């Protein structure tokens, strides 16, 4: 079975590759027509080719164990109508979105390098696939058939040819997989394009929510504090006038001024709390969440396992996310108890908020949950929600790489290892050179000097073993002296920018 499989798979792929000849004809005609200006033929041809390469990609993953991801640029977004209801494409206006969509689609296919790479793959696939993959099958068939039909004496040769066919099949399949991946896998450019597109979206959302936040703060300040201060100023002016003529009225007004300033302070306090809660600035995430828990009407259990403070923007995003989740648990979930767990795994932060409520939370419906996702997206964070109807609900926030890098200094070598290293460097030369190699040379040339070469004093049968032992001992000592520090360094890798993070992490 294992022998036959590559053969069969190769045969199937090879036949499929030969069948591509059928596709090549319309492809060439369509491309030629496009070149002549009949651009309508291009999208259908491209669509067919993409279908065919899609099949090749999935077969490559399933049979050849070489996963090839699609390589196309992201498709264009649907055209948006202008304010007057018309659709614009370049300098033309259209009544329906059909034409701009078609134009965008054409441009998307035509400018994507993957389209042309697909076409190149299709053109050469019958040659590469057809020849390479059908070769083993042909060899086996020929090797087995030859002795019977033509030359019976050549049976061994025939078997050898068949065996060569069987043996070569996996190799050729591997080569074919490589060829498919070479042309059909995403290029660096399209991978980057995907990244950029995602980052673009996140940036847009971040900027948007930031702008909305600023607008809210501006409105609150304008309608609240600013108006109150104006009123206070006016009242103080009136007090100034009344002071001499009607001190009683002035006193009444002053009481009002004090009241006004109190209200202004209360409003400012609420505003500040919405921008950046003071307890977060003063104590960090752990205590800020504990303070949240204390203010909540629910029974909230908080466990925090964080050694260091996070960066302020991350702290703030997590704080407001937890706050929102807590509010949801109280308002919609009908929960009584809530568990909040904040911990880190390496440099990633994980926050879990679970409650015993009735569940059924859906990120698609609740604007609060999508707000959390937006907040977290700025840090590549994700919100995972498990909330079956009937509960319980568990929300998990994962933020990768937000904690400062561990600034562990490498521990020094243990003393016994240090001793081995220094003995190695200090003494390894002794067995290796004079007692080992030099003695060996003396022995080989048959010199008549014994000097201090210990091995030469021994009886004849023990001389060579001792020389070999000395050489091995010397090499071992050198190996240990070199290897122990290297192994130590590998076990405690020092963070490359530990210094920077120590400064930023505080």
Determine which residue in the list 278, 334, 346, 465 makes contact with other proteins, applying CB under 8 A. 278
Q: Compute the least distance from the CB of residue 341 to other proteins, in Å.
A: 17
Q: Compute the least distance from the CB of residue 254 to other proteins, in Å.
A: 11
Residue 282 contacts other proteins per CB under 8 A: yes
Q: Please tell me what DSSP assigns to residue 402.
A: -
Of 62 and 269, the one with the shorter C-beta distance to other proteins is: 269
Q: Compute the least distance from the CB of residue 256 to other proteins, in Å.
A: 13
DSSP string, 117-172: HHHHHHHHHIIIIIIHHHHHHHHHHHHHHHHHHT-GGGHHHHHHHHHHHHHHHHHH
Q: Compute the least distance from the CB of residue 270 to other proteins, in Å.
A: 10
Residue 297 contacts other proteins per CB under 8 A: yes
Q: Compute the least distance from the CB of residue 103 to other proteins, in Å.
A: 57
Cβ proximity of 206 and 379 under 8 Å: no
How do the residues of the chain divide into helix, strand and coil, expressed in percent and rounded to 5? 70, 10, 20
State the Cα angle at 81 between 77 and 85, rounded to 5°.
165
Residue 291 contacts other proteins per CB under 8 A: yes
Of 61 and 286, the one with the shorter C-beta distance to other proteins is: 286
Q: Compute the least distance from the CB of residue 265 to other proteins, in Å.
A: 5
The span of 18-26, 277-285, 349-357, 448-456 binding other proteins (CB under 8 A) equals 277-285
The span of 80-88, 226-234, 276-284, 380-388 binding other proteins (CB under 8 A) equals 276-284
483: exposed, middle or buried (Cβ count in 10 Å: 0-12, 13-18, 19+): middle
Of 212 and 312, the one with the shorter C-beta distance to other proteins is: 312
Which residue do the tokens 């002795």 mark?
147
Q: Which of residues 249-268 bind other proteins (CB under 8 A)?
A: 258, 261-262, 265-266
> Around Cβ 94, how many Cβ atoms within 10 Å?
17
Report residue 443 as tokens: 């022995």
Of 39 and 266, the one with the shorter C-beta distance to other proteins is: 266
Q: Compute the least distance from the CB of residue 247 to other proteins, in Å.
A: 19
Q: Compute the least distance from the CB of residue 359 to other proteins, in Å.
A: 21
Site size for other proteins, by CB under 8 A? 21
Phi, psi of 340 (to 5 degrees): -120, 130
Residues paired with 349 in a beta bridge: 344, 399
Cβ proximity of 225 and 268 under 8 Å: yes
Which residue do the tokens 């929510």 mark?
209
Q: Please tell me what DSSP assigns to residue 296.
A: S
Q: Compute the least distance from the CB of residue 502 to other proteins, in Å.
A: 18
Residue 308 contacts other proteins per CB under 8 A: no
The span of 47-55, 234-242, 275-283, 489-497 binding other proteins (CB under 8 A) equals 275-283
Q: In angstroms, how far is CA 389 from the centroid of its own chain?
A: 32
Residue 283 contacts other proteins per CB under 8 A: yes
> Around Cβ 285, how many Cβ atoms within 10 Å?
21
Give the number of residues written for the chain. Answer: 506
State how beta strands 299-305 and 393-399 pair.
Answer: unpaired
Report residue 351 as tokens: 């926050």
Of 24 and 271, the one with the shorter C-beta distance to other proteins is: 271
Determine which residue in the list 281, 418, 458, 487 makes contact with other proteins, applying CB under 8 A. 281
Residue 272 contacts other proteins per CB under 8 A: yes
Letters for 200-239 (x = contact with other proteins by CB under 8 A, - = none) are: ----------------------------------------
Helix (H, G, I), strand (E, B), or coil: what is residue 353?
Answer: strand
Determine which residue in the list 205, 220, 267, 287 makes contact with other proteins, applying CB under 8 A. 287
Of 323 and 387, the one with the shorter C-beta distance to other proteins is: 323
Of 297 and 389, the one with the shorter C-beta distance to other proteins is: 297
The span of 45-53, 188-196, 244-252, 283-291 binding other proteins (CB under 8 A) equals 283-291
Q: Please tell me what DSSP assigns to residue 336.
A: S
Of 223 and 336, the one with the shorter C-beta distance to other proteins is: 336
Q: How far apart are CA 98 and CA 77, in angstroms?
A: 13
Cβ proximity of 210 and 98 under 8 Å: no
Residue 294 contacts other proteins per CB under 8 A: yes
Q: Compute the least distance from the CB of residue 189 to other proteins, in Å.
A: 48
Residue 295 contacts other proteins per CB under 8 A: yes
Q: Compute the least distance from the CB of residue 282 to other proteins, in Å.
A: 4
Q: How far apart are CA 93 and CA 278, in angstroms?
A: 53
Q: Going by C-beta distance under 8 Å and a sequence separation of 6 or more, which residues neighbour residue 376? A: 317, 321, 382, 383, 397, 399
Which residue do the tokens 């049976």 mark?
155
> Which residues would be at the binding site for other proteins (CB under 8 A)?
258, 261-262, 265-266, 269, 272-273, 278-279, 281-283, 287, 290-291, 294-297, 299
């Amino acid at each position: 079975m294992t022998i036959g499989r590559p053969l069969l798979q190769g045969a199937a792929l090879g036949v499929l590759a030969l069948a591509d000849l059928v596709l090549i004809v319309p492809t060439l005609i369509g491309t030629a027509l496009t070149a002549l200006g009949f651009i309508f033929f291009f999208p259908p041809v491209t669509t067919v080719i993409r279908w065919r390469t899609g099949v090749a990609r999935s077969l490559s993953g399933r049979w050849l164990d070489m996963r090839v991801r699609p390589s196309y640029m992201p498709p264009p977004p649907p055209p948006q109508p202008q304010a007057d209801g018309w659709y614009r494409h370049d300098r033309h206006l259209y009544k329906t979105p059909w034409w701009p969509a078609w134009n965008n689609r054409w441009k998307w296919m035509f400018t994507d390098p993957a389209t042309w790479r697909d076409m190149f793959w299709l053109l050469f696939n019958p040659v590469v696939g057809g020849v390479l993959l059908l070769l083993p099958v042909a060899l086996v068939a020929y090797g087995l058939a030859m002795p019977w039909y033509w030359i019976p004496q050549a049976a061994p040769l025939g078997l050898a040819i068949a065996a060569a066919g069987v043996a070569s099949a996996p190799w050729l399949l591997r080569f074919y997989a490589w060829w498919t991946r070479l042309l059909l896998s995403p290029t660096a450019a399209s991978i980057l394009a995907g990244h950029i597109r995602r980052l673009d979206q996140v940036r847009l959302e971040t900027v948007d929510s930031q702008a909305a936040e600023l607008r809210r703060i501006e409105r609150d300040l304008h309608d609240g504090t600013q108006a109150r201060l104006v009123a206070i100023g006016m009242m103080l002016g009136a007090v100034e006038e009344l002071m001499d003529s009607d001190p009683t009225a002035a006193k009444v007004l002053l009481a009002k001024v004090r009241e006004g300033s109190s209200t202004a302070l209360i409003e400012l306090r609420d505003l500040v709390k919405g921008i950046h809660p003071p307890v977060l600035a003063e104590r960090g995430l752990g205590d800020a969440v504990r303070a949240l828990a204390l203010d909540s009407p629910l029974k909230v259990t908080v466990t925090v396992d964080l050694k260091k403070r996070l960066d302020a923007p991350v702290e703030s995003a997590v704080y407001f996310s937890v706050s929102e989740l807590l509010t949801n648990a109280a308002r919609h979930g009908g929960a009584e108890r809530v568990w909040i767990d904040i911990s880190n795994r390496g440099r990633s932060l994980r926050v879990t908020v679970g409650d015993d409520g009735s569940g059924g939370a859906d990120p698609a419906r609740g604007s609060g949950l999508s707000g959390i996702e937006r907040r977290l997206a700025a840090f590549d964070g994700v919100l995972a929600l498990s909330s079956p109807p009937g509960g319980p609900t568990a929300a998990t926030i994962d933020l990768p790489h937000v904690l400062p890098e561990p600034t562990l200094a490498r521990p020094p070598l243990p003393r016994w290892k240090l001793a081995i290293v220094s003995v190695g460097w200090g003494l390894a030369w002794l067995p290796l050179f004079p007692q080992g190699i030099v003695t060996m040379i003396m022995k080989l040339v048959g010199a008549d000097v014994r000097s201090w070469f210990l091995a030469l004093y021994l009886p004849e049968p023990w001389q060579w073993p001792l020389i070999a032992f000395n050489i091995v001992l010397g090499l071992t000592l050198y190996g240990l002296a070199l290897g122990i520090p290297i192994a130590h360094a590998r076990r405690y890798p020092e963070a490359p920018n530990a210094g920077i993070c120590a400064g930023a992490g505080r």
